[in-house]
Amino acid sequence: MIQEPAPVKVLLTIDEAAKAMSVGRTLLYDLLMRKEIASIKVGRVRRVPLAAIDDYINRQLMNTSAA
């Protein structure tokens, strides 16, 4: 029996996003409140797109290399 590969998640929970970034939930919520990382509401829950994390990391790298 051939098993299908698991789909890649494109929206992460707050806990998953914090873990993916190796930061705490408090820091992630702070970044979300300051709109440094984009998030969306899906129904009553907040989700962080993987692309938003990539964008944040790329901006931080650009700021570091420009300094």
Residue 47 pLDDT:
98
Residue 64 pLDDT:
84
DSSP for the chain reads -PPPPPPPPSEE-HHHHHHHHT--HHHHHHHHHTTSS--EEETTEEEEEHHHHHHHHHHHHHHHHH-
Residue 67 pLDDT:
62
Q: Sketch the domain layout of the chain as residue ranges.
A: 11-66
**Crossing angle of helices 14-21/50-66, nearest 10°?**
30
Question: pLDDT tens string for the chain (67 positions)?
Answer: 788 888 888 999 999 999 999 999 999 999 999 999 999 999 999 999 999 999 999 999 998 877 6
Residue 14 pLDDT:
97
Residue 8 pLDDT:
84
